[in-house]
Amino acid sequence: MLQQVPADSDPTVRAMKVLRAALDSNPTSLAAADQLARAYIDFGRQIGDAHYAGYAEAVLKPWLNQSPAPSAALVDEAVILQFRHQFAEARQLLRQVVAADSRNAQAWLTLATIEMVQGDYAGATRDCSRVGGRGEFQLGIACAANLRSYLGQAQQSIVLLSKLIPDSPSTTASYRAWLHGMLAEAAERLGDWPQAEDHYRQALAQTPKDNYLLVSYADFLLDRNRPQEVLPLLRDSSQSDTAFLRLALAKAAMQSSDLAQYTWIMGARFEALSQRGSDYFGREQVRFALYLQHDAASALDLAQRNWQVQRAPWDIRVLLEAALAANQSKAAGAAIAFVRDTKLQDPVIDGLIKQLESAPKVVAVSSP
């Protein structure tokens, strides 16, 4: 099997076909193009399939070729670039949008999200405030609350995010899932595993097919030494490269007889991505090299390159793990300094830092 194609019976697939027909009947409508592009983007992120980002770009192309391009098309394209981890290009488009329309809350929120991923917390603080200042008060609070979980204030993050959980059933499932997902990650920062799991389950109850949530919960289960639960969780998500890696890691933890097959397939997927010029699975490549290929030197090289682009907690963690495995504690120096400067709370990262700092130092002995 090369690819699983979403079934026509899927309500989201049917909705996208309706939007496609609406654009075909009115190809000069920016609103119709924006709706269809966003539907493709959201669906692609939900199931972890990058093909849909390409479909969205094809829809947006006529408007992106205009001079000046409309803000809606630029924001959509920036979200696609963010999905591909082309952060510099995404930021450039978003700056162009807010320069022309400072009240575009979506542009400010996307900018803040990119800044969080890249560890620019001063920029994220500024842009989260601009989200709220443009009338999107709840989104602005959620943005700022999520940021606190990276700045040693995870408990405050939980308090603020909890207040945003809506009582009204009319609130969209994706919004409720987004909040519960951030709450789960904040609880993990504190090492509160029961609370984290509860929020992961509540998030997935809202959006059961969300690839990001499925993968995050799978990582949680792997960390809790529950790999057998990862297999049914991700059974229907194997078309996603990020989900497939977690399946392979679960197979490794279980010492499964078909581990070699999973490792080979994952390697082939990374090679295919490389041939297409895609280089946005940095932390996944580190984990593949470290835990499936058992190549600590390559994992460390990949982790250091990934560190130049992304500095989220998982990017810190894989760099520390690779440095520890390669017995190169100095290679983790910048990441350790970053953790100390930002006051990041994370029991797993704290444990890795202690191991690195207590590891025997290799002393060079000169010849007589």
What pLDDT, in 10s, does the model give residues 177-186?
999 999 999 9
Structure tokens at 131: 């989200």
pTM beyond cutoff 0.85: yes
Chain mean position to CA 19 = 27
pLDDT tens digits, 117-165: 999 999 999 999 999 877 788 999 999 999 999 999 999 999 999 999 9
Contact 293, 284 (CB under 8 A): no
176: closest CA among 195, 204, 196? 204
Q: What mean pLDDT comes out for the span 202-217? A: 96
- Dump pLDDT digits (tens) for 328-353: 999 999 999 999 999 999 999 999 99
Q: Residues 81-89: contacts with CB within 8 Å, 24+ apart? A: 82/110, 82/113, 82/114, 83/41, 83/44, 83/45, 83/50, 83/53, 83/280, 84/50, 84/53, 84/278, 84/280, 85/279, 85/280, 85/282, 85/309, 85/310, 86/280, 87/114, 87/117, 87/118, 87/309
Share in percent of the chain as helix, strand, coil (round to 5): 75, 0, 25
| Closest-CA residue to 280 (of 320, 241, 232) | 241
Does residue 204 carry a pLDDT above 80?
yes
SS (H, E, C) 37-105: HHHHHHHHHHHCCCHHHHHHHHHHHHHHCCCCCCHHHHHHHHHHHHHCCCHHHHHHHHHHHHHHCCCCH
> Would you say residue 6 has pLDDT above 80?
no
How open is the CA angle 21-24-25, to the nearest 5 degrees?
90
Indicate the domain borders of the chain.
Answer: 11-101
Over residues 285-291, the mean pLDDT reads: 97
- Confidence band (pLDDT; 50, 70, 90) for 200? very high
Token couple for 60: 């947006």
SS3 366: coil
User: Is CATH 1.25.40 the classification given to domain 11-101?
Assistant: yes
96: tokens are: 């162009």
